[in-house]
Chain A
Amino acid sequence: MTAIVQQTSTPRWLGLWPAVILVLFFLVPFGIMLGVSVAHRDPSGFYEWGFELDSYARFMSAFFAKVMAVSLGVSLTAAAICVAIAFPFTVFLGQMSNRTQTWVLVVLLSVLALSEVIIGFALSTLLSQTAGVGNLFQWLGLIDEPQAYTPSLFALITGLCYIGFPFAVLVLYPPVSRLDPEIVEAARVMGASGPRAFFGVILPNLRGAITGAFILVFVFTLGSYLLPQLLGRSEHWTLSVHITDQAIYQSNLPFAAAMSIFLMLVALALVGLASLAGRDRGAA
């Protein structure tokens, strides 16, 4: 009997393995970052262990409040646009043949293999004055002279959406494909129009998945630092760009670590709020 139990159940010590890995590769680096964020900044390019809140104090200024607002604004906008496009797209995709669905998903997944640098350069060429869509618009007679659409907030959001869109679809796809078609049919039989069935039945049923996709794209784009430099103007530089500046170019690791931790706390707070809101409404 004992022998059978041993054979069928997973050994308990196996549960320790992920815990050890988690502590070693997640909590330890995080602890070091936390420690560095309160370390003493040595202007000769290094830091000395200690406890002081100078780096956090420096961060509490109107300038960094503005930078934080820009970061959050950009990421929230990108997440909202991604989900607004990805949701109807995924519902539409779910109604296609299996073969088509596979192809579309493979293409979307391949987008994830592209480097942010390549995406940034490609978009900046596409939106440029010399070789971009402005020339096409001029040829069509829509505008008098070719125009540049980059660097701009529009170009930056476009870039972030390009990266965030596949993630949104991948999060939405499983629940959408599992959605029972009979629910929609029932709504239509009861007299609901197509849009009414979409907004009144499909959308509320998938609120959890939509919230999940929104959060994922938001958190993912919040850490972006290459695209704001490639596609945005300097006033659109996110907090991540400033963190890179401090860590790499100014070798001010305590300040960079303090900013990173603050960014993470704000992101956690927003994610907590969003999932709480999603859950409450779902329950109601």
Chain B
Amino acid sequence: MKRRDLLKSGAAGAMILSAPSILRAQGAALKVGTYGGYFQDSFDEHIYPDFTAASGIEIESIGEPTGEAWLVQLQQAARARQAPADVSMMAQVARIKGERSELWAKLDESKMPNVANLPDHFVHRYEDGSLNGTGAVSWYITLVTNTDAFAEAPTSWQAFWDPANADKIGLMSLASNSFLLEITAATHFDGTDILDTEEGVLQVMEKLAEVKSNVRLWWRDEGQFQQALETGEIPMGQYYHDVTGLAASQGKPVRSTFPDEGAVLDSGSWVVSSASQMVDQSQVFIDYMAQPEIQAKLSRMVGTAPTVPRDMTDLTEEEFAAVSSDKEPILPKYEIYVDRGDWINQQWSENITG
């Protein structure tokens, strides 16, 4: 058996495992995964060519699925010491799950000076303090309305609970991407701390269940809700600030409002698979992306909110308003969807959408 193991690791291992690293040593491309579709197209067009020009590192663009499917693929591949992508943009719940299983490579901060630009909630560390990821892009989920149906912009998330809006509202159908628990907690329970206990979560769900009669559509598909919002079929709901702003600028009768209680600030982060052979190049990429001017470029070209403080960027008032707001945001409590994910999902199906 030992001899066989030796043969395996010696012969096959040398051929299969080292071959890619030799290729890479000769300047193979760094594989970067972003959400396929609009994100990937924008990065291909506006970001990667300039990065290659600045660093000399070629990029192979990988389109990854949203949700947790990509995390599962990365985990399976890492077990076989493969990395379908070196750097990946991960949603926060998936990022934390990867962090718990130590799937992400530890990064060397001393080689990444621009990471210091990022606020704390965009710097992700292991318990020993080592860096394992940084905020990549962020976006706001706001209160959106059809301007023909609502002459005046609503000012509060309370509008969801208003009996006058019966059968008029479109909300996201999952607990873990709608962040309606956080919205309800911020609107009715003075903040999201109440979500730290199961009793608290149930209390918030009970309050949220009161909106059920006002909800016409629990949407999963962005296109479905956007069409309904633009035609006035479903004149109110929660949606992405940037996309709504884009539609409004094209003359569609829609508006996005940052409510008094704050809009939800969701984000994706850069992480490096521990199976990657190109951690050094990945660090160059992540550092490059944390520069204020690149964040400003993302805001202009991709429509995401900057992950660095506003005053570091050269965004004009108008450019900043198109993607962000100075109002205090509602920060999602991602941990509860990791620690109590199955339980919350079950309660959500039974009490909210069921």
Contact = CB atoms under 8 A, between A and B. Distances in A.
Contacts of A227: none
B46 interface: no
Interface string A139-180: 000000000100100000000000000000000000000000
B232 A130 contact: yes
Contacts of A235: 354
A278 B68 CA distance: 45
Interface stretch (A4-12, A23-31, A196-204, A244-252): A244-252
A235 B215 CA distance: 12
Interface stretch (B156-164, B191-199, B338-346): B338-346
Interface string B105-145: 00000000000000000000000000000000000000000
Contacts of A131: 231
A129 B231 CA distance: 9
B354 A249 contact: no
Interface residues of B, number: 35
A280 B340 CA distance: 52
A149 to B, nearest CB: 12
B40 to A, nearest CB: 19
Main secondary structure of the interface of B (DSSP, over half): helix
Q: Most chain-B CB neighbours within 10 Å: which of A245, A249, A255?
A: A249
Interface string A217-261: 000000000000110011101000010010011111001000000
B69 A251 contact: yes
A43 B341 contact: yes
A15 interface: no
Contacts of B76: 46
A128 interface: yes
B213 to A, nearest CB: 11
Contacts of A67: 354
B72 A43 contact: no
Contacts of A128: 231, 233
B294 interface: no
Interface in B127-184: 173-174, 176-177
B97 interface: yes
A251 B68 contact: yes
B72 A229 contact: no
Contact of A250 (B101, B215, B341, B354): B341
B252 interface: no
B189 to A, nearest CB: 24
B173 A234 contact: yes
Interface string A249-277: 11110010000000000000000000000
A151 B217 contact: yes
B71 interface: yes
Contacts of A43: 97, 338, 341-342
A41 B221 CA distance: 27
A18 interface: no
Contacts of A124: 224
B68 A249 contact: yes
Interface string B71-111: 11001100000000000000000100110110000000000
A45 B342 contact: no
Contacts of B341: 43, 250
B71 A45 contact: yes
Given A43-B338, A63-B349, A234 B354 contact: yes
A46 B345 CA distance: 17
Interface residues of A, number: 31
A141 B233 CA distance: 22
A97 interface: no
A44 interface: yes
A66 B349 CA distance: 12
Contacts of A230: 221, 224
Contact of B97 (A41, A44, A242): A44
B4 to A, nearest CB: 24
A160 to B, nearest CB: 18
Contacts of A255: 342
B111 to A, nearest CB: 29
Interface of B: 67-69, 71-72, 75-76, 94, 97-98, 100-101, 173-174, 176-177, 215-218, 220-221, 224, 231-233, 338, 341-342, 345-346, 349-350, 353-354
Interface of A: 41, 43-46, 58, 63, 66-67, 121, 124, 128-131, 148, 151, 229-230, 233-235, 237, 242, 245, 248-252, 255
Given A43-B342, A237-B353, 12 more contacts: A44-B98, A45-B97, A46-B72, A63-B350, A63-B354, A124-B224, A129-B233, A131-B231, A235-B354, A237-B354, A242-B349, A250-B68
28 contacts: A41-B342, A44-B98, A44-B100, A45-B72, A45-B75, A45-B94, A46-B75, A58-B346, A63-B354, A66-B354, A128-B233, A229-B220, A230-B221, A234-B215, A234-B218, A234-B354, A245-B174, A245-B345, A249-B67, A249-B177, A250-B68, A250-B176, A250-B345, A251-B67, A251-B68, A251-B71, A251-B72, A255-B342
